[in-house]
Amino acid sequence: MRSLWSDEAAAAIVTHYGARDIGPDLALRVYTSRLLGGDPRLVLHGGGNTSLKAVAPDLAGVPVEALYIKGSGSDLATIEPAGLPAVRLAPLRELRARAALSDDDMARRLRAALVEPDAPNPSVETLLHAFLPHKFIDHTHAAAVLSLADQPDGALRIADLYGKQVGVVPYLMPGFGLAKKTAAIYDADPAVEGLVLLKHGVVSLGADAREAYERMIAIVAAAEAHLARGRRTVFVAAALPRSLAAPAEIAPILRGACALPDPERPGAYRHFVLDLRDGPAVRNFVDGAELRRYATAGVATPDHAIRTKYRPLIVPPPEAGRLDAFAAAARAAVASFVADYRAYFVRYDAGRGKRELDPAPRVALVPGIGLFGLARSARDAEIAADLAASWVKTVTDAEAIDRFESISEADAFEIEYWPLEQAKLGKAVEKPLAGKIAVVTGGAGTIGLATALAFSDAGAEIALFDRGGNNVAVAAEKLGGLGLVADVTDAAAVRAAFDRVAVAFGGVDIVLSNAGAAWQGKIGEVDDKILRQSFELNFFAHQYVAQNAVRIMLAQRTGGCLLFNVSKQAVSPGPNFGPYGLPKAATLALMRQYALEYGAAGIRANAVNADGIRGGLLTQAMIAERARAYGISEQQYMSRNLLGREVTAEDVAQAFLALALARSTTGAFYPVDGGNLAAAPR
């Protein structure tokens, strides 16, 4: 690790913010905060914090001595000056004389000291910055330093490596106590350049932005060099089955095993999205013979506990061809994880009446495969997996020199259930499809994309399948989802695409089989080839999609939702549309067959009969031609239904969303056509 400081970049940022009336100190505070935040070896996902002491005008314009400190909700990698709210320093420094200060009191005093009353909450580590005298202070949870600090004799190791350069602070929960202790240790030797907080992280001190930043880099680089010296093979591998099952086979089993029954909706589940990591470092870790010892030893730094929990789930390696055995073992492991978590809560809550968090694992380790991060969204699963991968590195390096040791389980509980820490996760109300994974075929088309947007707005993660590579990539990007090029008339391609979704997200809950195209021809004269082509896309493709969806849903054992886009042609044939209507009628029957045969597994199957959607199969040229044939305007043509209103792709999307949420509806054929009794199901 080396310093990324650049005089040119520093000057540029000073000029940039100078034009916005922001002084050079705060501009450089932003600059080095971003340098720290941009390196995952130092800071991950909103971790770490930085500060600056400077004179700031208060609301009345009177200059006051202030501490600019990272506010909650900011990420050092992308921080702006507004992400560093100013707090008055004098009232914070006075607090140091107190013997004790409750967390509530601390939080209220921090807010009261804000120069701007509506600024974000200052970091929970604000007092640590306030009680130290330096103008610039940087704090990270650097993985390499933690490998030395997370040891039974961490204090000795730090002292041996750094000598008088760095002070050593014993573990205390973040907050007032840690701030006081750190300041006292600093006062005992004010020559130090930084402080290592055992089992937590590292602080560097500087008179200017560059000094604090480069001291951080020097401390971390020394730890890295120490860990690289005389490196030995760390973990001896356990015996694994000769042939392992594929990640695509085991992810849905694991995901289903971790899903929690929804307390508000009997028969429904709260699902998690999975994020797999399987690089060499992770494999070396999860394949180790002593996995259970070092993997259950605890977190690398207390901050991780809210996203990873104190311990991960560990399941046995999955043998190829023996998925039932893996499923049984995974379910047993989850049941025991949940029971242990509940016991942990009762043990450490000790009657204080805290509200128990959900007991499902946030990290799962699978020997022979890798690690999975679990969360209620793909983004949060990615964060959990990133933190777990960093923890793997810290533990591996710690075990390479001696033995990894974390904070105690009791200390982890205090952090996991600390209201100030939980506040970092936010309190947004969850959306109805949070944690669900939806596949939409024909995903770049009008109806497919409108429905994918509706599912995404309702909280689902989205995978789009489409033939058009470019279109599907653009559409998926818009949704933050996965875009896959897949010809749905090719059974093997459909299987491969579903497997990619299972690896990317862990499984699938909702599938809209939407891809279709209209072939025409008078039925008595039409070429066989046309009819067969239409059957390939308008019937067999639906069967391939539904088959693969059901394959994954059955592995999850948490039900599922199949949706088919069926046309009015299925029940109300139009002249010359036989080649289109016949396979659509078969697809309507297909939907009912799935409803019948998989209802017992909780899998629902429903269809929408959409008609007259502009931009779907109905091209602008077709609309113009038919309006001319009827001798009416295009608008009149598009509104020929009982409601006299043009039906839109958004109407169809809302119907699919309603069916996805209708937990007691299966086998239904739902018209979205503005009213057309000739096409009404009967």
If the CB atoms of residues 201 and 516 are measured against Zn ion, the closer one turns out to be: 201
Residues 6+ apart with CB under 8 A from 276: 247, 251, 369, 370, 371, 372, 385, 503
Nearest position to Zn ion, beta carbon: 201
Residues 370, 259: Cα–Cα separation, whole Å: 20
Residues 515, 468: Cα–Cα separation, whole Å: 12
Question: How many residues contact Zn ion, by CB under 5 A?
Answer: 1
Closest approach of Zn ion to the CB of residue 301, in Å: 7
Closest approach of Zn ion to the CB of residue 242, in Å: 45
Contact assessment for residue 549 and residue 511, using Cβ atoms and an 8 Å cutoff: yes
Residues 29, 10: Cα–Cα separation, whole Å: 10
If the CB atoms of residues 182 and 567 are measured against Zn ion, the closer one turns out to be: 182
Closest approach of Zn ion to the CB of residue 673, in Å: 59
Q: Is 580 a catalytic residue?
A: yes
Q: Can you point out the beta strands (E) in 215-369?
A: 260-261, 269-270, 273-277, 313-314, 363-366
Distances (CA, A) of 362 to 122, 213, 405, 435: 27, 33, 20, 13
Contact assessment for residue 520 and residue 580, using Cβ atoms and an 8 Å cutoff: yes
State the amino acid at position 671 in one-letter form. Answer: P
Residues 93, 467: Cα–Cα separation, whole Å: 64
Secondary-structure breakdown of the chain: helix, strand, coil percentages, each rounded to the nearest 5? 50, 15, 35
Angle between the 378-401 and 209-228 helix axes, to the nearest 10 degrees?
60
If the CB atoms of residues 134 and 255 are measured against Zn ion, the closer one turns out to be: 134
Q: Can you point out the beta strands (E) in 95-152?
A: 136-140
If the CB atoms of residues 201 and 368 are measured against Zn ion, the closer one turns out to be: 201
Residues 300, 304: Cα–Cα separation, whole Å: 7
If the CB atoms of residues 201 and 288 are measured against Zn ion, the closer one turns out to be: 201
Sheet strand arrangement including 370-375? 273-277, 370-375, 363-366, 313-314
Contact assessment for residue 450 and residue 443, using Cβ atoms and an 8 Å cutoff: no
Binding mask 198-217 for Zn ion (x = CB under 5 A): ---x----------------
Q: Can you point out the beta strands (E) in 226-378?
A: 260-261, 269-270, 273-277, 313-314, 363-366, 370-375
Binding mask 259-298 for Zn ion (x = CB under 5 A): ----------------------------------------
Tell me the window of 60-68, 196-204, 335-343, 426-434 that interacts with Zn ion (CB under 5 A): 196-204
If the CB atoms of residues 103 and 319 are measured against Zn ion, the closer one turns out to be: 103
Of the candidates 31, 171, 544, 580, the residue annotated as catalytic is 580
Closest approach of Zn ion to the CB of residue 205, in Å: 15
Closest approach of Zn ion to the CB of residue 125, in Å: 6
Closest approach of Zn ion to the CB of residue 88, in Å: 23
376-380-383 Cα angle (round to 5): 150
If the CB atoms of residues 203 and 570 are measured against Zn ion, the closer one turns out to be: 203
Closest approach of Zn ion to the CB of residue 137, in Å: 12
If the CB atoms of residues 424 and 640 are measured against Zn ion, the closer one turns out to be: 424
Residues 367, 318: Cα–Cα separation, whole Å: 8
Closest approach of Zn ion to the CB of residue 170, in Å: 15
Binding mask 143-182 for Zn ion (x = CB under 5 A): ----------------------------------------
Tell me the window of 197-205, 443-451, 470-478, 506-514 that interacts with Zn ion (CB under 5 A): 197-205
Residue 71 interacts with Zn ion (CB under 5 A): yes or no: no
State phi, psi for 52 to the nearest 5 degrees.
Answer: -140, 135
CB contact burial 316-350 (16+ within 10 A = b; e otherwise): bbbbeeebeebbebbbebbeebbeebeebbeebee
Closest approach of Zn ion to the CB of residue 65, in Å: 24
If the CB atoms of residues 201 and 579 are measured against Zn ion, the closer one turns out to be: 201
If the CB atoms of residues 201 and 674 are measured against Zn ion, the closer one turns out to be: 201
Closest approach of Zn ion to the CB of residue 49, in Å: 7
State phi, psi for 605 to the nearest 5 degrees.
Answer: -135, 130
Residues 6+ apart with CB under 8 A from 268: 261, 262, 559, 663
Q: Which residues are catalytic?
A: 580
User: Site residues (CB under 5 A) for Zn ion?
Assistant: 201
